[in-house]
Structure 1
Amino acid sequence: MKVLYLPAETGTGHNMRAFAMATKLRELVPDVEQHVYLGSKSPIFSPLFESLGTRVHVAPVERDHANISQLGTSFDWTTYVTGYLDRTFISGDKMLNAVALIGATVPDVVVSDYNIAASLAAEVSGVPHVLVTERYDFTLGQLENDTLVGAGFVVKNPAEVDMIRTALTTLFDWVTRRARAVITDKPPIDELDRDTPVFRAMAAGHGHFLGPIVRDECSAAPVPRSAVDERFGLAGSEYIVAGFGGTTMFAENKQRLLDTYLSAFRRFRTTHPRARLVVIGRQEFSEEVDGVVFLNYVTDWHSLIKHAKIVLSPPGWISVTELAVMNAPVAYALSGRNEYHELEAMRRLALLGYRVVTEPDVSALLRILDEAFSAPDSFVRAAAMAAGAIAPLGNGAKVAAELIARAAVEPDARRRADLLECE
């Protein structure tokens, strides 16, 4: 059996989810030949995949989607489709590159992790594919024009944006119908997801909500606190973990969130002198702030999370699932309403019962920190109850691997039926 993973190149979470599936498939089928194509953070992820015996293929040019703005203030075809989608999810260059890679590796199945160009390439190449997605539709398909305007975008031509939305949903629907299996780690909520492509795939029987698709380390016993203290310089502290990395639409939002974290922490520390702040941001830091540990990226961040007093995290969904498996005491912070790609996740997290805050100021963060430090048991309980909806059965990586293996060997009855229908 030969498998090719093509994770979306926009975030490290897609790489990590592919790694979790590849790990379980190696356990399930020890002689499997696995390939992965990395378009982001390959120096970090190549050794991880290679430790599984996976052949790594690296993009000629890797993009940094965490530290540059992706959009402008106007929301139209030029800024959104040409300027953003064409560089990320729907790209002729990426699709042809994937076609070439499929031709070179000759896989039995392609695993597309929210990589629509990869799904199209698999279909063009006549190779079955499995779609792994944290989105039930393209993001725009679950946002209204009024929401975009409320987030600060200029929508000069609503009809044009409606046309983009319809075209994207049509494409996503086609991809989900063609996929041998559609796998999601996001729990369906009727009021948000009804009549979306993934919701329809579930009704058709080839869509599956599996819960988190994460590494076993997330649910493993925590490493000793002493090891964390020694590694990160946190001895004698009660510490906060604050994330602000991930794909960003506007770089100034990321900087503003960091500034707010630091300002809130300085004030909080006047009444909690033992507090420390660990900032994880997918960038190099030059500043030094008393009581703050700055980290670029930590592949084993679970070691930090399991001893943290509270976690402040952006709502990137793969991070959400890892935190759910760890039952982390987490509150979710969205840096800006114009980070349109995370608005749906914030709606969902609020409905699930998490503490969420959008464009937080210092006072809002101080209230959350005070709650976590003064009433930790109730804060942990509330987060754990919400996590139960995301991870009802724990880690779904093993089931995902089983579905991938099945897709590689089963006859494609649905495709044959489609062809007969066309005739």
Structure 2
Amino acid sequence: MTIVYAPNPTGTGHNMRALAIAAQVRELKPEVEQTVLLGSMQDTFRPMFAEAKVEVVDIAPKATNTALHSHLSDRLDWENMVSNYLVPTFLNGDRILRMLGHFRDVDTEIVVSDYNPVAGIAAHIAGLPHVLVTERFNFSLVNVTNDQLVKGGAEVDSVELDRARAALDQVFRLITSTAAAVVTDKPSLPNYVLDKEFRSLEENGKAQFVGPIIRPLPSGDARAEGKAIREKLGLGEGPVIVATVGGTTMHLKNKQALIDCYLDVYERLRGRYPALEMVLIGREKIDVPPGVHSLDYLPDWMPLIRDAALLLVPPGWITVTEICALGIPAVFVLSSYSEYHEIEPFERLTAFGFVTHLGTDAVDLAVKAEGLINSPNAVAILREKYRVVAPDPYGAQRVAQIVLSLR
């Protein structure tokens, strides 16, 4: 009998959480058989799961990187939002049928999905216990308004999108109601109307906030590990800004605008800090000016960010939890409301009192960045606020215990 992990094949956070949980299960019960159904960033994550002694089943015909192409058009109606994006990405009937086959192939005992509706529905059909790991309390479309989409520059068919929201909400409620357990690394907000349904799941004991679902934090000497990663990446001894783009982009133009903004911020700050360098993690190699180091991806970035003066990052939730667990000063940047899937986490981080920035105005972002680079007091206050997301770093262990309790 096998525990099967089914991370959503969008972005890298879903894979990372599945990996962190599987590693903790391996530590608690070394004899348990584990399989991951891997559908994105296979070249990066296949060896990482293999190292954790998790069998890898590649469920995509070719390596997939969802950061390298646009997913939406500027007109948002049923066809463009639902038929062309949400259905193939989250509610694909072919993938549900294939998922059922994968469950039979490995004699599945428990399904652990990471925000993967296909896996949740397939587990329900197969009569298998399902642990839903989710950074979202509904489909992203349900949690944004038509007005917000219009602010992002979209032409919106309100009637069709409202019908889609109602249907998607029904689907998500079915998945949470049929799951054996629901766990999240995102704290709910007491008075946030969008969290009302999820808070009721928490109050009824069906859902649980567990804290960051991440790999173990670096345990070695911070200075030594920082020096090692600097040598590996060719960095000097001055302050370093780490800047990233999201693992999934709705519009490539937003990704490019964000990169341009980061580079502009770097040039502005470098005038004040001549030894400043930037590591730009752009999901692909990018031509950059002197002082900037371009990486497509860095699987184990914790030693780097622990040594960084500042992070400039989108509000992707796995990134949020790692930053909070490590206490790294960061500005969370939403490039545009057209990146609709980032609106809700961005607003949540703002409500938590984190440093956030809307848009790609490099002048304003540079001011916010320098405010953290130059102020130990501001960083200390920020680290205290981070505790709402990361009271401790042991979320993956808690999820592993929940999963094993269902055997």
The answer to whether TM tops 0.5 is: yes
- 1:268 is aligned to 269
CA shift for structure 1 position 393:
3.2
- 2:336 is aligned to 336
- 1:21 is aligned to 21
Is 1:245–1:280's contact at 8 Å kept on the other side of the alignment? no
State how far apart, in whole Å, the 1-side matches of 2:293 and 2:176 are.
43
State how far apart, in whole Å, the 1-side matches of 2:45 and 2:108 are.
21
- 1:10 is aligned to 10
Give CA deviations for 1:349-396 in whole Å, capped at 9, x if unaligned: 001111100113120122023212322x12321321221000123321
Q: Which range moved further: 366-375 or 214-223?
A: 214-223
CA shift for structure 1 position 196:
4.6
State how far apart, in whole Å, the 2-side matches of 1:218 and 1:80 are.
41
Relative to structure 1, the CA distance from residue 247 to residue 195 in structure 2 (aligned partners, 3 Å threshold; closer, same or farther) is closer
Residue type of the partner of 2:353?
G
1:91 equivalenced with 2:89 (yes/no): no
Is 2:77–2:161's contact at 8 Å kept on the other side of the alignment? yes
Aligned-pair identity in percent equals 38
State how far apart, in whole Å, the 2-side matches of 1:20 and 1:263 are.
35
Relative to structure 1, the CA distance from residue 333 to residue 386 in structure 2 (aligned partners, 3 Å threshold; closer, same or farther) is same
Is 1:238–1:309's contact at 8 Å kept on the other side of the alignment? yes
- 2:390 is aligned to 391
- 1:415 is aligned to none
State how far apart, in whole Å, the 2-side matches of 1:88 and 1:322 are.
26
TM-score by length of 2: 0.96
Is 2:331–2:369's contact at 8 Å kept on the other side of the alignment? no
SS at match of 2:44: helix
State how far apart, in whole Å, the 2-side matches of 1:387 and 1:93 are.
41
- 1:141 is aligned to 142
SS at match of 1:278: strand
Is 2:114–2:132's contact at 8 Å kept on the other side of the alignment? yes
Residue type of the partner of 2:138?
D
Is 2:138–2:172's contact at 8 Å kept on the other side of the alignment? yes
Give CA deviations for 1:200-223 in whole Å, capped at 9, x if unaligned: 321221211001100003576535
- 1:173 is aligned to 173
Is 1:280–1:297's contact at 8 Å kept on the other side of the alignment? yes
CA shift for structure 1 position 160:
1.6
State how far apart, in whole Å, the 1-side matches of 2:96 and 2:221 are.
41
Residue type of the partner of 1:77?
W
State how far apart, in whole Å, the 2-side matches of 1:224 and 1:6 are.
33
- 1:400 is aligned to 399
State how far apart, in whole Å, the 2-side matches of 1:388 and 1:220 are.
22
State how far apart, in whole Å, the 2-side matches of 1:127 and 1:62 are.
29
- 1:234 is aligned to 235
Within 5 Å, which residues of 2 pair with 1:275-314? 275-285=276-286, 287-314=287-314
Q: Which range moved further: 360-369 or 8-17?
A: 360-369
State how far apart, in whole Å, the 1-side matches of 2:228 and 2:65 are.
31
Is 1:219–1:325's contact at 8 Å kept on the other side of the alignment? no
Give CA deviations for 1:151-170 in whole Å, capped at 9, x if unaligned: 222113x2221110010011
- 1:80 is aligned to 81
Is 2:185–2:213's contact at 8 Å kept on the other side of the alignment? yes
- 1:412 is aligned to none
Is 2:2–2:32's contact at 8 Å kept on the other side of the alignment? yes
State how far apart, in whole Å, the 1-side matches of 2:218 and 2:207 are.
25
- Which 5+ residue runs of structure 1 have no aligned equivalent? 410-423
Is 2:113–2:120's contact at 8 Å kept on the other side of the alignment? yes
Give CA deviations for 1:171-206 in whole Å, capped at 9, x if unaligned: 100100000000000001023355654323212212
Relative to structure 1, the CA distance from residue 240 to residue 117 in structure 2 (aligned partners, 3 Å threshold; closer, same or farther) is same
State how far apart, in whole Å, the 2-side matches of 1:221 and 1:398 are.
23
CA shift for structure 1 position 101:
0.2
SS at match of 1:365: helix
- Which 5+ residue runs of structure 2 have no aligned equivalent? none
State how far apart, in whole Å, the 2-side matches of 1:137 and 1:145 are.
16
State how far apart, in whole Å, the 2-side matches of 1:385 and 1:87 are.
41
Relative to structure 1, the CA distance from residue 13 to residue 221 in structure 2 (aligned partners, 3 Å threshold; closer, same or farther) is farther
Residue type of the partner of 1:363?
V
State how far apart, in whole Å, the 2-side matches of 1:317 and 1:300 are.
16
Relative to structure 1, the CA distance from residue 166 to residue 215 in structure 2 (aligned partners, 3 Å threshold; closer, same or farther) is same
- 1:48 is aligned to 48
CA shift for structure 1 position 150:
2.2
State how far apart, in whole Å, the 2-side matches of 1:273 and 1:135 are.
41
Q: Which range moved further: 111-120 or 203-212?
A: 203-212
Relative to structure 1, the CA distance from residue 214 to residue 193 in structure 2 (aligned partners, 3 Å threshold; closer, same or farther) is farther
Within 5 Å, which residues of 2 pair with 1:122-137? 122-137=123-138
Within 5 Å, which residues of 2 pair with 1:150-169? 150-156=151-157, 158-169=158-169
Segments of 4+ in structure 1 off by > 4 A? Answer: 193-197, 218-221
State how far apart, in whole Å, the 2-side matches of 1:72 and 1:191 are.
33
Q: Which range moved further: 210-219 or 177-186?
A: 210-219
State how far apart, in whole Å, the 2-side matches of 1:73 and 1:169 are.
23
Relative to structure 1, the CA distance from residue 126 to residue 220 in structure 2 (aligned partners, 3 Å threshold; closer, same or farther) is farther
State how far apart, in whole Å, the 2-side matches of 1:340 and 1:394 are.
28
Give CA deviations for 1:32-57 in whole Å, capped at 9, x if unaligned: 00000111111111111111211100
Is 1:226–1:235's contact at 8 Å kept on the other side of the alignment? no
Within 5 Å, which residues of 2 pair with 1:298-377? 298-375=298-375, 377=376
Is 2:278–2:293's contact at 8 Å kept on the other side of the alignment? yes
Residue type of the partner of 2:402?
L
Relative to structure 1, the CA distance from residue 194 to residue 334 in structure 2 (aligned partners, 3 Å threshold; closer, same or farther) is closer
Is 1:142–1:192's contact at 8 Å kept on the other side of the alignment? no
SS at match of 1:331: strand
Is 1:71–1:249's contact at 8 Å kept on the other side of the alignment? yes
Give CA deviations for 1:251-288 in whole Å, capped at 9, x if unaligned: 00000110111122112212210100110111122x14
SS at match of 1:390: coil
